[in-house]
A and B are shown apart, each in its own frame.
Chain A
């Protein structure tokens, strides 16, 4: 199935849940409402024409410019994006799903944005979501075991956020 018809199919099947997309991008993508992510993903995996059986990668991208001068010029409002790269081993096609989240839940600094975990759809998501939680600071609801994976358990902060500050010291080791 070509990527364009794939996007059309999803847009007609899910309607307003699919809030955007770009079929002409280098990797065509669709944007999905965070509440419906789990539904869309289950459909993508189970539908006979789609069969996205492989979740390649989950990436958290932080859109935030810490420099106030540059931030005034930046074309976007601060937000966090989750990017899911999917492919189908059986049918050999790919798709990118994007979910846009606020940087902080309810705009309260320190409370992580939340989204449904897709680890029940693809088990790959288990470790990938732990990594995104660890490094980008996004909370996955319904994840079986959401712990830090790459950083130590007592690490403070989420390094891949643009406003992250390296700690001055960690257990007696100099940071900055």
Chain B
């Protein structure tokens, strides 16, 4: 390719009438009911305006009428692809307000469940991203493995999508006997399959062409817009609440060894086993965001394996769930956890009764999506699904 030549330049030169194009709310590549209004000039998008709220249920208002335990099912329905992590975030916030300390066993149980949830969520993220870019098979591969995780979750709590398993005070039940063994066997199956995923997408020439250098999000802009999770780390910011968060959350991971997945000096932690960063990739582009997610799957597997032994060796029990109508101490508490999609925060204000005065959910996808109009400016229409898909949003969490 000649230097300075851009195949899109022709498009930029031609000026035609501007047109407003509605993408969504019922569009296969908008991940739910997201409506994007594109101002286009031919194939080039000059402005993107996201319209959200189609799934709004005002869960926060509902939370003002329920006790913390009764609200748990509503957290499931926020990020419905990572219900376990939502339960965990809310439970930790309630425990923070109440000043509860959990036995060791409950802590390790939560690490295991949360990391397994992270794998399931990233698998969907990966598969759905393939769909956005026009390839169907990775989606099926991803769902095949996710199905096994859902089976494991079903064994634990009886539900496959909306778990309500982790509750303030611990969990609703202990892991069933033999579950750890089955989970371990599943991980041993999963690890070789990860390289299939990498072959299908990460190092696929078409995939690289569609994602490298597209939707570049600088670190400064990512922080300014409050992006978090893989979107933030894909821009090279070394920040993960599991390591940098509040003590109440990080102490859950005490003694676990893991490296935050972010690029340092052109390298990701332990990246020699995985496809190399393509030459065209720019830090903060769609490819990097995707890659961070893929590496986080491996990181989660590693954490899970560390958790198994600790859980089996731990003393104490899996915690005692608080009473359904437990009175809350007067005060307020805010806690953020590292959910698969970023920093999920829960805030509750209590006036001393068993029903919180105010409940607030800080959604990670909400902030991640707010950056779209910046990174979708001046791209061809075909890149818009690629960029929005790389943010891996879940509308249930954005609209709440």
Contact = CB atoms under 8 A, between A and B. Distances in A.
B58 to A, nearest CB: 5
B377 interface: no
B252 interface: no
Q: Which of B246, B343, B358, B400 has the most CB of A within 10 A?
A: B358
A31 B181 CA distance: 52
B347 A26 contact: no
Prevailing SS type, chain B contact patch: mixed
Interface stretch (A9-17, A32-40, A55-63, A108-116): A55-63
A44 to B, nearest CB: 14
B26 interface: no
A45 to B, nearest CB: 10
A25 B334 CA distance: 11
Contacts, number: 83
B97 interface: yes
Given A89-B237, A151-B53, A159-B58, A127 B333 contact: no
Contact of B60 (A55, A135, A148): A135
A160 B360 CA distance: 10
Contacts of A83: 332, 347
Interface residues of B, number: 35
A127 B399 CA distance: 12
B336 A56 contact: yes
A135 B58 CA distance: 9
A146 interface: no
B204 to A, nearest CB: 33
B332 A152 contact: no
Interface of B: 52-53, 56, 58, 60-61, 96-97, 221, 223-226, 237, 239, 244, 246, 331-334, 336, 343, 345, 347, 349, 357-358, 360, 362, 366-367, 370, 399-400
Task: List the 7 shortest-distance A-B pairs measured between CB atoms, nearest first.
Answer: A124-B226, A57-B362, A150-B53, A127-B370, A150-B56, A59-B360, A123-B224
16 contacts: A26-B332, A56-B345, A57-B334, A61-B357, A85-B334, A85-B345, A85-B347, A96-B334, A123-B221, A123-B226, A149-B53, A150-B52, A150-B56, A150-B58, A150-B400, A160-B358
